[in-house]
Structure formats: structure tokens, C-alpha cells
Structure 1
Amino acid sequence: MKNFKYIYLVIFLAAAGCSNDEFLDREPTDILGEEQVWGNEDLVFSVLADLYNRLPDYQGLENWWEYTNFDEAFASNAGDYGRHQNQEYSYGDWGMWDYAYIRDLNLFIERCEAATALSTESKASFLAEAKFIRAMVYFEHVKRMGGVPLILESMEYDYSGDPTYLQYPRAKEHEIYDFVIAEMEDVKDDLPNGSTKSRATKGAALALVSRAALYAGSIAKYGQLTPEVSLPGGEVGIPNSMADAYYTTALNASEEVMSLGTYELYNQDPDKSENYTNIFLNKSSNNEVILAKDFLVQGRTHGFTIETIPRSLREENTSGGKLNPSLNLVQSYELLDNTFAELPTKDASGNPIYYDDPMEIFAGRDPRLLGTVIVPGSSFRGKKVDIWAGYKLQNGSVITSDQLGGQAQLPGSSSSVQVVGFDGPIDQLEWSAQNGFYLRKYVDTSVGSGQRGTGSAVWLVRFRFAEILLNAAEAAFELDQLDKAAEYMNQVRRRAGFPVDLTPSEIDFDRIVHERKVELAFENHILWDKKRWRLAHRIWNGVSTNLTNNPGDALAVSTRVFGLKPYKYYEPGSPNNGKWIFEEFVPAPVFNAHRFRLGNYYSFISDGVRNNNPKIIRNPNH
């Protein structure tokens, strides 16, 4: 009977509704019409906020695993070991072809231009912001795909059976860069000078010009090293003759950011390592950040700290410790006398070097190392992180455990003692420091940020002033303005803690590459920098080599992720008993070298895209 009662109720309500014409004519209450949206600035901003939120980040705080695709880090998560086991990059990796997004932006711009209820000031601001987002989206396309169709108006199908009028060919690669640059120059003065970090500003528009022009200049210059990575129509590849003009644009845009007086290097903490860390944690008084994805502004948090916090300090039992920075990166941090050196694990005779404290092996290096990486012996959240691999005996054997903090008996002892750290490293024990390191950068120090019910509100920095200085240094170097190149690079290095400047004669391509590597580590630059310099196929060449002994060499092959095991030395009666020794190693899941092929410089355009539009030609080497 109960079911019949429900049926009768539905019939009654339907009949009652049909008997009243006014009911059918009522406006829906759960859908806003265009007039309602474009008559209310708050509603317009809510639409714009969604467009901001869709900006893509190949590497970011919501997808930690992408940081482990190259040589910056190891993925201490069993489901991601494949990133180190069969790493021939797919032609489709990091690709993008999102014209639904571009259509939404074009529609927003058209409707904003047609709106009559908005103030002149608000209308100009909304338009400038939407054009900034659209330029960012086209920049994301071109750095992945090369030239793409440049569509600047919404298109509608007329259902005539002939869709050819909707089919646009690919623009030349340089035309997309030119559009991004020209669009930002056009709208920059309609944007505020500062006052926000999560929305477009004049500084953000100029930062995009700085980065885009630098990329285009690099492709124009270094693309000549890979002539087979080009297309005769210019959809891929930029003429070498355009390089200097792009470098000049990049330098001018960078210097215009400097002249705004809005941005400066963050330099508030006397401890240089902590100062560097706090660039990414301190939101309240930070004039270095130009544009960031601020999750708290969106009323949400993320789980990056949950996934990456050291194992012994985690606040959830189901995660932690998944991202281990590589020894490749760690040894790239030079000494404070401006020289490069391997970590000293052995003396000239090949014997182990003994240390009283595990931190000693990292002493005298660029402070950005400890601001980026949690190394053996260091602390986090006021607690010592327990990274050590076991006891090394005189005969070379090791006493350890397959359990974190595990215990065993040492020779000559009748009781058990701890023989491995509570943070690892233990081979193939996921969610621990499998290669001897944890990430420090972006990991939240706030209690509760490692819990799923709370999460972290640390922002993802997209543009910051240090990058602008390095962009300017690189552009000036390429234009043979070495005095400027040295001054801009040295500003970044002085803030880092280097007591002696580099001279103009010491600025070379290797220095440009290195400085970006350490200053911008884990900031979604590694892939795009190596691609634009045409270095990627040379350093990730598929050959399983040893760890380079020249970390300052831009061409040093780095195809496998290395680690560092700290051991306590055990030889009672020896002056070295209880001291620390270190051994470089390759984590067990790393058994294949990264291989970047020429076809990886530009991603694959899907068969579906090309079938729908025969004017779209393939990328080279696909």
C-alpha cells in the first residue's frame, strides 16, 4: 500500500501543477540567467573565479607525484615506482588541447564587453583579468604543443552539415608567443599594481611577458641544435633571427616589474635556510610572490603536507613521506665559495670519511639546500628527523632492520638496540625516506596541516620576484650584457646567503642553468627549462650513468635518481666508533634510465583532434 500512496501523491501534484498556468511560467530558482549574472559584480567575479581555478599546473601541490618524473625526486610510493622503472616518456605526456576552456574564456570576454550594468572600472578590470587567464592558457598550450589554432571568439555550429568554417589551422609557434606578449602589454594598465596575490595584476601580466618572451627567445636560439624538431610551416620552431628581439622583450618586461616598486626579495629571517623556506609559507608580509594559487581564498585546503611530511612526524597513519628529493639535486647546491663539489663521502684514497654529526657532510653549502630538503640530522617542526640506514661494521657488513626504528643485537652485545631510523631509509619501504631525504619546501609547519580533516592552506607560487631577476639575468646574458646579468643573478644569490658575488666574466650558460635549478626547484620549471634550452634529450638520454661528479655542468647526464645512506660506524675501541659515514646508492625501484626523445619536445595531438579538423598537422617525430 505504501508504494501506491506515493504514486497517488505524484499524480495529485502533477494535476495541481497543470491546473495553474502561472506555475509553469515561474523562473527557475536554481539557475541564474545571463542578465542576472552580468548585472551583479559579485556573480561575475564568481564566474571569473572558476576560470582562475581551472588554470593547469603540470606539477603542483595537488599532484605531488609529478615532481618525481625527472631527476629532482624519488616517489616513495609503491604505486608510483613505475616512474623510475620504465621511464620512456610518452609523446602524450604533459600535453594539452583544451578548447572548451578557451571557449568559456571567449564567452566571458564577449559577454563582459556587452554588459551594460557594470561600472566602467569594473568592466575594464574583469576584461583584463579574463584576457590574462586566456593568455596564460595559450601559453600553457604553446609550451606543450607548439603552435595551436588561435581562437579569440566563441564559435557556434549552425547544424548545416558543413563544419569546415569552424576548422582553423595551427598558428605558427612564434605567433602564439607574440599573442601572449601583445595581449599582456595591452591590458597591463587595466590591472591593479599589487594589492592581491591570487588574481591578475600588472606585475603578473609583466611576469607572463617576461617568462613567455624568454621561452620564445630560447627556442629561437637553441632550437637550432635540433633542426629535426621543427615543421616547415613554423607550427613548431622559431627562426633564430627572432631570438634577440625576444630576449630584449624579456629583459624589458623584467625590468619593468622591478620598477613597479611593488615586489622585492623576501628577506625577513636571519637564518637563510628558514628565510628561503618561508617564501612559500608566509602569506602575511611577503612582497616576493607576484601570483599564487591561494587555496584558502577559495575556501579549501590541499593534502600536500599529508603526503610529504616525514614519516615519524605524520599526523595520519595512512600516508606521509612520499616525495624524496634526489641526491642529484642535493649535491647541486654549491659551496659558499662559489665552487661545485660532490658530497665528501670518501677521502682521496677511497676510504670513508667519518663525521661526528650527520649534518657535517652538508656544511658550508648554499643555505637553500636546507630550505628545500630535510637532510639526515636536521629537524622539522622542532623535532629531529630520524634518518639513518643502520650500523656499518668494520668488515663492511650492515646490521639493520626491515622495520622503521627496528632493533637488533650488535656484535658483543647481549641486548637489542635501535638499528635503523624511524624515518628510514629502508629499501622499498614506501612512505619513508627511501633515498635518505625528505622534502622541506612547501611542507606546512602548522599543526593539523597533515590531517585529512584539516589539510594545508600553503599557496602554490606561480610567479615570484626571484624568477623575474633570473629571467632578466638570462636575457641579459644572451644579449651579451654581462654586467647586468651578474647584478641580477647576484641579487638572488646574496639573499640566499652567498658572501661573495659572481663577477660578470663568471656568468656563463652553465651558471644560468644551475641557478634556476636550485632557486626554482619543485616550482614546475625543470621540464620547461630543459625543453626550451634543448637540453632534455641530452641529459635524460636513456643511458644509466653514475651520479655526475660535476654538478655545475649543464650537460651532465642525470638519468637515474640517486640517494644517500647514513650509517653509524660500529667498531668498539676505535676512535671512529659511533661516528657517521655515508654511501651513495640507487634505490632498488630505480632500474631504468629516463629517456627523453626528440618527439617529447612537443606533445602528441590526438587522432580525434586531427580527424575532426584535417587542417591540424602532426607534431614532428610522432
Structure 2
Amino acid sequence: MKLKKIITTISLTLALSACTDLDIAPKNVTGEDDIFGSNDGVMSNVARIYSRLPIEDFKYYYPQGFNVNGALYKQMACLTGEAVGRDTQGADNEGQLTNWYYWDEGYAEIRDINTLLEKIPQYASKLGATETKTYLAEARFNRAFTYFALAKRYGGVPLVSTTIDYPASVNIEGTRLFRASEEAIWDFIAADLDYAIENLPENSPLRGRVNKYVAAAFKSRAMLYAGSIAKYNTIEQTQDQNGTVVRTVGIPANRANDYFKAAYDAAKLVVQSNKYALYKGLWKAGDKAAQATNFRRLFLTETTENIFVKYYDATNAAHNYDESVQPYQTKSGGNDSEVSPTMDFIEMFDGIAKDPDGHFDNIDDNGFYNAVNSPLDAFANAEPRLRATVIFPMDVYRGQVIEIRRGIWTGNTVGGKIPKLASEGAIGNVGNIPQSNLSLAPSLSNNTAIPLEPGDPRGATMKPAGANGPVNAWDFGNTGGTYLAKYLAESGTTTGSNSTQSWIEIRYAEVLLNQAEAAYELYQAGQSGDSYLTVAFNNINSIRERAGANLLAGEGDLNNINIVRIERRKELAFENKTYWDLKRWRVLHEEQNNRRWRILNTFYSTKAQQYFLSVKFQEPRDVFQYLFTFDTKYYYQPIPPGEINKNPNCKQNPGF
């Protein structure tokens, strides 16, 4: 097939840590010989393929797709209970709101990759044997990455491994492909990644190009997903395809251990390479502040942990992460406060006082609040990883004390104790719950300071909502009593597309967690081979040590798969991994069954001259109730209706 349109060299924004920049001068190339007969031409095509990989990064916006510009009002972390936000009002899904589906885009990428795979061997003598080998392996990696994005959404999809040259050599019927079995798609992904691992160099030839260990790291993720579907999925669908019954949805349960073993072995290859390590450049034993700084810095700099990274820069590509996530207090315009970590998430961490049910212990045995001089006192002993992930009320960010407050209690204390508010543990908006002696702000623009008691060390007056809220009505400002710290820039402009943090798509901690989970699944299944429990135990403790968390005392403490899963949720929080983990474990419908997320409300008592922390459910705003219920049919997302209409052989997923 002749490529007739002009292809312009694109800067490669998806990059892997390496010592050399991929910097190809812009050049227009026309004609097949120019495109595939020179290394510059091929790299132009390769760069374009890399730039379109379906990476769920700062620019991924589930209502609209990949590489979206502008503030992202709905965040994936707000679909999982990690956080709440103003604009994420329920259990949304791709395609549910704006009819965006990752289908045509995915197959356009696959077509370009297949063209590359077919044409490059024809020009091998011009490109060179080593270059040809690497190009083909890169293409197979990118194809596996793209099919992974399709399979985790739709299950079995049409398997296209060659270019369909319609209408030149294929008629319309030749384009109406049946869906392959879901099992076949996952096996195809594994085969492409095995080829990439075998044929890619150990070191990336240029910045922005994968090596064999990147492919192995990604294989550990993909095969772990497949193993989970084989073990935990209960949704099935078959289709009679010209006399052959094909299981387009679901994987046979007897394949689970095959996939878990493949995930384990791929992770093991990365671990044994000694090319990557958990970042501990600023880490100090026994120093919580240093450990927190170390973890936060991990996401803002090049480290030994980076395996596969998408880079941004102010000249060629920037994003809006800071504008969407930043505190109201530090913004210079635009949006803010779209992500506020929940108490449900915070309670996963060590070092926080908890009641017998595992909830934050903010009430004493007599029903009074545990008063504190600063809200930070309640989290002083929390594991440093939490303090690096969450901005709590009165934390310091960008040199400012971040003042998050829900209101001021002016009522009397009882023997110096602060009684429970009527809103404690409630669902309704605090402003709508009868409570005398409680000063609230209807909005940040109507946040009038009230007088404090004479001699109060905090001054003569105080604003009920502080500098950020939360407030009573729909408004900008805080929504859940906290802010997100992970990935948040510590300097620079926060308005518009000015953020340049790199997105770490795969980091070494994930590989350790992938291996630990696969190992524990194999151990539970009684599989022979390595000492799987020991590997899982050691990996989890390595993660926990760096995090500043309590170490597991012995292998016997690792007695439940949920220990591995919770560690994963804490470590990879807000990296757009948890949503897919909850889906592959098939637990999202259990976690979200008329579920409301619990948030932190900070109040100041004028009489006690101390703070107290209240926990309640996310407050309704306008008509939005923030009630989450996940429909199990969305474990497999709908294939776009347009595809079903034009291809009668493509059977829709169950429930749609």
C-alpha cells in the first residue's frame, strides 16, 4: 500500500530515561521510499506512533479521550474513592457522557504499526540489520500496548495483525471482522511483548525509545490483568462465527496461573537486571520528614525508578495538571481543587489513630472530639508516604500554610471538651443540618471573618472557611478537606497549559507490586517453582520500608491477598492505576453500591482555642448527591454503536 499523505516528523513526547535526546530536525517526507528507506523517515513514523500511545496520563480525560488540552474537571481518582471532586458526581465510564470510545483511535494506531511491520523488512538493506531489528521490536511493543488498551476495555476485539488495504485489495466484507476470543487477544499481546523482549536492546538507543526491560515491565502489568480476568471474572459471552463458537468475553479459569506465571517471570527479568531501583536519594532511616520529601520528589525528577516515562516541556508540550489539582489559595487564575483525597483512602495508611472498625479515631470514649492545636497533629505519626501524597489542613505548600477549614464552632465546651456536631457522620450539607453556634461560609467570596476570644494566639478574627473552604454552596475551592500533593509542582505558573511534570507510566515500584501480586496468586494456587510467598513478602516490605510504613514481621503476616492489594492502592494512588485494578479484581461493584465517600472537615473552637476534626460524607452540591453505584455491565465497556452498525459481525458486549 502506498502512503499518499505527507507525514511530518513529530517530536517524541513519550520517552524513557536515557542519556541521549531524540532530537530529529523537522522534515517533510513524501513517498514510501523516503518514509521507509531512511532512518530519518522511519523515525518520523516511529515518533508518531509513540506520541499516540494510549497512556492515561495528565492529558487523559475519560469523558473525552487521550491528549486532551485544558483543565480536566473529572478525574479518574474520583471514580475510585481515592478522592472526591466537584465535577465527578457518580460512577461514570468512558462513552457514558460524551460518546467517546477508544476504538477507531486504537485501530488507526494498529494500522500504522502494521504498515511499519510490513514495510521495514523491505528496506532492511538501507536501514541496517541492527536498526531493522530494533524498529520491528519497537513496533511490536507499541502494538501490544495498544491492544492492551482495547482488551481491558472491551475484552475480545477484532485481531488485526496485517494491513487491511481497503478498497485496493479487500472489499467491504473483508473489513467486517469477527471479534477474536478474549483469550486470543491476551495471548497475542504476550507474543508481541515476548518478541520485543527478545529483540530490543538492553539499553534504549535514544531517549524516548524502549528497551527489553521496558517491554518486560509492561508484560508484567498486562499478564497480571489477564490472570485476574481468568480468575475473578464471571461475565461471559460467546458468538457463533461461521460454525465456530468463540468466547469473546471472558477467559477460561484454567488459564489464570499461566498468566500469573508470565507476569511473575516478566517482573523477575526486570528485577534481576539491576537496571532500576526504588528511589531513595533523599531517604533517611528513622527520619519521617526526609522519607516524605523523598517520596514526593520521586514524581518531580529523574530517578532510578523511572522505567517508562512520558515527558513534557514548555516549548513542545505542556499540560494542565496543576491548574486542575492546585489549592484555591495558591492559584493565579483558572481552575482548582478538582481532587481531594478521602478519609476512606487516608485510613488505609499506618500511623493514624483508628477505632476498632479501622476508621479515623477523632472521638474520645465519652463522645467528645479529640482536640488538637493543629490539624497536622492528628497525622504527625502517619507513614511518610501519606504525608507526601496528601496536603492536610495547615500543611505548607509553595511556602504557604494551606488553610483548609469548614467552619468555626463558637459554642461552649463541656469541661473543656468539644461536643460532637450534629453533622458528624451525616450525609447532608453541614449548612443544612441544624447546629447553633456554628459559623460557616456560603462561598469563598462571602467568607466574613468572625471575632475570636480575647487573647486567642491565632489573632482577633478568623474566616470560617479559611483560604480554601470547603463552603456551603457550589463554588471553586476545596471539596473534601484535603488536597493532593503527588505530582503537584512546587514552583512555576499554575494557570492554563503551563505544567511540565513528566508522567511516569511504569516505575520500578509497580514492577515489584506486579511480581508480589502474581507471586501471591501462584502461592495461593499451590504452584511449584520459586518461593513465591517469600518473594511477595520481600517485595511488599521493600515498598513499605521506602514508604516509612510498618514492616510485615514475617511471612505469616502476609496471609491475605488484600494486604498486597492495599499496598498497591497506597503506593500507586493517583497514578490512574487503581481504577483498572478494581475492575480486574472485579470488586468495583462491591465497593460502590450506593456508596458515598467520607471526607475530612476541620473546625476551630473559639472557646477551646483548638481545632477538631470531623468526618462526614461528601456534601451534596446543587442537585448533585455524589452517590456512587457501579453497574457490573461496565466491567466490559460498550463497543461504539457506530462500529456495531457498520460491522454486523462485531457482536456488542453483554448488557448494551
Tell me, yes or no, whether TM beats 0.5: yes
TM-score (norm 2): 0.80
In the superposition, relative to structure 1, how do residues 608 and 417 fare at CA in structure 2: closer, same or farther (>3 Å)?
closer
State the identity %.
Answer: 30
Match of 1:303 among 314, 320, 345: 320
2:85–2:480 contact (8 Å) kept in structure 1: no
CA shift digits 1:77-135 (9 cap, x unpaired): xxx2xx31x54657758842132221111112222222242122222212211211111
What amino acid is the match of 2:392? V
What amino acid is the match of 2:499? S
Match of 1:565 among 597, 601, 609: 601
- Following TM superposition, by how much is the alpha carbon of 1:419 offset from its aligned partner in structure 2, in angstroms? 3.1
What amino acid is the match of 1:43? G
CA shift digits 1:408-429 (9 cap, x unpaired): 3337779754333112221345
What is the CA–CA distance in structure 2 between the aligned matches of 1:57 and 1:222, rounded to whole Å? 25
Q: Does 1:503 align with 2:554?
A: yes
Match of 1:435 among 480, 492, 516: 480
What is the CA–CA distance in structure 2 between the aligned matches of 1:320 and 1:246, rounded to whole Å? 42
What is the CA–CA distance in structure 2 between the aligned matches of 1:600 and 1:538, rounded to whole Å? 13
In the superposition, relative to structure 1, how do residues 581 and 184 fare at CA in structure 2: closer, same or farther (>3 Å)?
closer
Tell me the equivalent position of 1:96. Answer: 102
Q: Does 1:463 align with 2:506?
A: yes
Q: Does 1:580 align with 2:590?
A: no
What is the CA–CA distance in structure 2 between the aligned matches of 1:228 and 1:182, rounded to whole Å? 24
Match of 2:227 among 204, 211, 217: 217
CA shift digits 1:291-320 (9 cap, x unpaired): 011123983211211222211111x32222
1:219–1:238 contact (8 Å) kept in structure 2: yes
- Following TM superposition, by how much is the alpha carbon of 1:137 offset from its aligned partner in structure 2, in angstroms? 0.2
What is the CA–CA distance in structure 2 between the aligned matches of 1:298 and 1:107, rounded to whole Å? 31
Q: Does 1:282 align with 2:301?
A: yes
What is the CA–CA distance in structure 1 between the aligned matches of 2:201 and 2:352, rounded to whole Å? 39
What amino acid is the match of 1:401? A
What amino acid is the match of 2:437? S
What amino acid is the match of 2:85? A
SS, match of residue 179 in structure 2: coil
* Segment drifting more, 250-259 vs 499-508: 499-508
What is the CA–CA distance in structure 1 between the aligned matches of 2:277 and 2:168, rounded to whole Å? 55
Q: Does 1:420 align with 2:465?
A: yes
Tell me the equivalent position of 1:171. Answer: 180
Tell me the equivalent position of 2:79. Answer: 69
Tell me the equivalent position of 1:491. Answer: 542
Number of residue-to-residue matches in the alignment: 561
What is the CA–CA distance in structure 2 between the aligned matches of 1:388 and 1:297, rounded to whole Å? 35
Tell me the equivalent position of 2:451. Answer: 410
- Following TM superposition, by how much is the alpha carbon of 1:46 offset from its aligned partner in structure 2, in angstroms? 2.4
* Segment drifting more, 470-479 vs 342-351: 342-351
SS, match of residue 246 in structure 2: coil
What amino acid is the match of 2:549? F
What is the CA–CA distance in structure 2 between the aligned matches of 1:318 and 1:191, rounded to whole Å? 44
Match of 1:401 among 431, 438, 441: 441
What is the CA–CA distance in structure 1 between the aligned matches of 2:93 and 2:127, rounded to whole Å? 48
What is the CA–CA distance in structure 2 between the aligned matches of 1:161 and 1:175, rounded to whole Å? 24
CA shift digits 1:442-473 (9 cap, x unpaired): 1111323x1447x1211111111111111111
What is the CA–CA distance in structure 2 between the aligned matches of 1:101 and 1:612, rounded to whole Å? 20
Q: Does 1:515 align with 2:521?
A: no
- Following TM superposition, by how much is the alpha carbon of 1:58 offset from its aligned partner in structure 2, in angstroms? 4.3
In the superposition, relative to structure 1, how do residues 61 and 440 fare at CA in structure 2: closer, same or farther (>3 Å)?
farther
SS, match of residue 614 in structure 2: strand
* Segment drifting more, 249-258 vs 397-406: 397-406
Q: Highest CA radius of gyration, 1 or 2?
A: 1
5+ residue gaps in structure 2? 1-26, 62-71, 240-244, 284-289, 413-435, 524-531
Tell me the equivalent position of 2:270. Answer: 257
SS, match of residue 197 in structure 2: helix
In the superposition, relative to structure 1, how do residues 30 and 233 fare at CA in structure 2: closer, same or farther (>3 Å)?
closer
What is the CA–CA distance in structure 1 between the aligned matches of 2:39 and 2:28, rounded to whole Å? 19
What is the CA–CA distance in structure 1 between the aligned matches of 2:393 and 2:472, rounded to whole Å? 16
SS, match of residue 407 in structure 1: coil
* Segment drifting more, 473-482 vs 190-199: 190-199
What amino acid is the match of 1:529? D
CA shift digits 1:215-235 (9 cap, x unpaired): 111111112xx2557777321
2:334–2:495 contact (8 Å) kept in structure 1: no
Match of 2:382 among 365, 374, 386: 365
Within a 5 Å distance, the mapping from 1:50-69 to structure 2 comes to 50-58=48-56, 60-63=58-61, 64=72, 65-67=74-76, 68-69=78-79
SS, match of residue 234 in structure 1: strand
Tell me the equivalent position of 2:583. Answer: 531
Tell me the equivalent position of 1:273. Answer: 292
In the superposition, relative to structure 1, how do residues 227 and 134 fare at CA in structure 2: closer, same or farther (>3 Å)?
closer
CA shift digits 1:381-439 (9 cap, x unpaired): 22211111221122653123335483333377797543331122213453321211111
* Segment drifting more, 29-38 vs 111-120: 29-38
What amino acid is the match of 2:612? W
Tell me the equivalent position of 2:46. Answer: 48
2:220–2:267 contact (8 Å) kept in structure 1: yes
RMSD of Structure 2 on Structure 1 (CA):
2.7
1:90–1:600 contact (8 Å) kept in structure 2: no
1:336–1:498 contact (8 Å) kept in structure 2: no
What is the CA–CA distance in structure 2 between the aligned matches of 1:425 and 1:444, rounded to whole Å? 23
What is the CA–CA distance in structure 2 between the aligned matches of 1:288 and 1:251, rounded to whole Å? 19
Q: Does 1:597 align with 2:631?
A: yes
What is the CA–CA distance in structure 1 between the aligned matches of 2:642 and 2:189, rounded to whole Å? 27
2:200–2:211 contact (8 Å) kept in structure 1: yes
